[in-house]
Amino acid sequence: MPKVRVAIIGLGSWGECHLEAFRSLPQVEVVAICDAREELVRQLGEAYSIPDVYTNADELLNRDDVDLVSVVTYEDSHYDPTMKALQSGKHVFVEKPVATNFRESTAMWQTAKEQGRLLVPGHVLRFDPQYAEAHHMLQSGRLGKPVSIYLRRARPRALFETYQRTHTVFELTVNDLDIAIWYAGSEVKSVKAYGRSVMGADVPDLVWACLEFANGALAVIENHWLTPNEANIMMADSVEVVAEQGIIGFEVQHAGLQTWSGQGRDTSALHIHLNRNGRVSGALKEELGYLCDCILSGEDPVQTSIGDAIQGIKVAEAIIESIRTGREIKL
Ligand SMILES: NC(=O)c1ccc[n+]([C@@H]2O[C@H](COP(=O)([O-])OP(=O)(O)OC[C@H]3O[C@@H](n4cnc5c(N)ncnc54)[C@H](O)[C@@H]3O)[C@@H](O)[C@H]2O)c1
């Protein structure tokens, strides 16, 4: 069976999930991993029996026996490894946000087109059955056109200690922007947004964004990092799409497994990535497996869209500008 030869750059908390997911796919061989943290990458290389480990991405990218590079570095450091991987003829899967500015994201796309390589954005929610089924239902036309999209993403305060390294719009909101653009099937025309820094950090921990699409649809996105840690609710996310002839939606926080014990409540997020005794499941495995199938068959990965992801980056910049100026921003 032909295999896709994969290398992963960035083996932090999400990069290790990539490693587990890729290793569980029969059509994939993970040939190399790279992280700037030497001890971490050596330990993971041993634990997962990866033949080659690197601390320098350039050395890895000099290899000509890699088909696909997965870039899972910090949010603002996707550009260098992605550009070098594309320029050396490799397909690239780049985690969200594709970049933290529009200029870098368009340069990456331009290079992918020039090189004839795939550049696929890591918007895993398109492979989450509930988000994907809502899109499928909207596409079927049974509910008519979407007119109002409400998306909410809320995370515990403790996570903000790490992720305030990036603007909330690039950490949380880009996920919802990709979904809103996918569901609306149209371009964003204008943005009015509000941000608050409740815990006093340099970047807002609470963001509201109102979007108007060229086809008339409206969207409201609510994101925050203000769920009390003690509530033990990892994801308090919601979706509601009002269409001309019906409404579709779900609440992630009520859909998962709950455990109430002497230690309090635990709400595990089982649908994105789960590894139980080496058996991996979830939307991330679906997403990476789909891409590798497309590479092997030569089909277009139409469930993903680098164009939508890059439009999301443009809208993210407009949201930040609207929060800063208090004005509506036309795109
Ligand atoms: N789609 C999702 O659901 C999801 C979930 C979590 C994180 N992410 C995204 O994944 C990316 C990584 O997030 P994380 O939480 O794993 O971060 P992290 O801080 O845990 O890990 C990042 C790793 O990248 C390494 N690194 C950074 N620059 C490097 C370079 N130039 N060369 C080699 N290694 C380098 C760091 O040493 C670190 O180990 C971010 O873009 C984040 O937004 C996506």
Residue 107's pLDDT is what? Answer: 98
Residue 330's pLDDT is what? Answer: 98
Interatomic CA distance for residues 194 and 105, integer angstroms: 24
Across 26-30, average pLDDT: 98
pLDDT band at 203 (very low <50, low <70, confident <90, very high): very high
* Residue at a domain's end among 96, 122, 148: 122
Pairing status of strand 4-9 against strand 68-71: parallel
Residue 133's pLDDT is what? Answer: 97
Q: Count up the domains in the chain and report the number.
A: 2
Please check whether residues 175 and 323 belong to one and the same domain: yes
Please check whether residues 61 and 171 belong to one and the same domain: no
- Nearest ligand 1 atom to the CA of 75 is 41
Nearest CA to ligand 1 atom 33: 35
* Residue at a domain's end among 64, 91, 122: 122
Whether the CA torsion 269, 271, 273, 277 is positive or negative: it is positive
**pLDDT surpassing 80 at residue 130:** yes
> Distance, CA 109 to ligand 1 centroid (Å)?
20
pLDDT band at 264 (very low <50, low <70, confident <90, very high): confident
Interatomic CA distance for residues 9 and 69, integer angstroms: 7
Please check whether residues 162 and 91 belong to one and the same domain: no
* Residue at a domain's end among 66, 97, 122: 122
Q: Which two tokens stand for residue 273?
A: 């990535």
**pLDDT surpassing 90 at residue 263:** no
CATH classification at residue 38: 3.40.50.720
Top mutation candidate among 8, 9, 35 for ligand 1, by most atoms within 8 Å of CB: 35
**What's the pTM?**
0.96
Please check whether residues 138 and 267 belong to one and the same domain: yes
A 10 A CB-CB count for 75 gives: 18
Residue-wise pLDDT for 180-194, tens only, equals: 999 999 999 999 999
- Nearest ligand 1 atom to the CA of 171 is 43
**pLDDT surpassing 90 at residue 67:** yes
Dihedral, CA of residue 294, residue 273, residue 256 and residue 233, to nearest 10: -130
CATH classification at residue 233: 3.30.360.10
Please check whether residues 116 and 140 belong to one and the same domain: no
Please check whether residues 86 and 102 belong to one and the same domain: yes
Interatomic CA distance for residues 251 and 267, integer angstroms: 13
Residue-wise pLDDT for 134-147, tens only, equals: 999 999 999 999 99
Contact 116, 133 (CB under 8 A): no
Residue 134's pLDDT is what? Answer: 97
Residue-wise pLDDT for 167-180, tens only, equals: 999 999 999 999 99
**pLDDT surpassing 90 at residue 260:** no
Q: Strand (E) positions, the chain?
A: 4-9, 28-34, 52-54, 68-71, 91-95, 119-122, 146-156, 188-196, 206-213, 218-227, 238-243, 246-251, 258-261, 264-267, 274-276, 279-281, 329-330
Residue 255's pLDDT is what? Answer: 66
> Distance, CA 96 to ligand 1 centroid (Å)?
10
Residue 40's pLDDT is what? Answer: 98
Please check whether residues 73 and 134 belong to one and the same domain: no
Domain encompassing residue 94: 4-122
In whole numbers, what is the pLDDT of the chain averaged over residues?
96
Q: Ligand 1 pocket by C-beta < 6 Å: which residues?
A: 9-15, 34-37, 57, 72-75, 77, 81, 95-96, 122, 124, 171
Residue-wise pLDDT for 283-325, tens only, equals: 999 999 999 999 999 999 999 999 999 999 999 999 999 999 9
Beta bridge partners of 119: 92
Please state, for a pLDDT cut of 90, what percent of the chain lies above it. Answer: 90
Nearest CA to ligand 1 atom 5: 14
Residue-wise pLDDT for 105-118, tens only, equals: 999 999 999 999 99
Residue 53's pLDDT is what? Answer: 98
Across 269-293, average pLDDT: 93
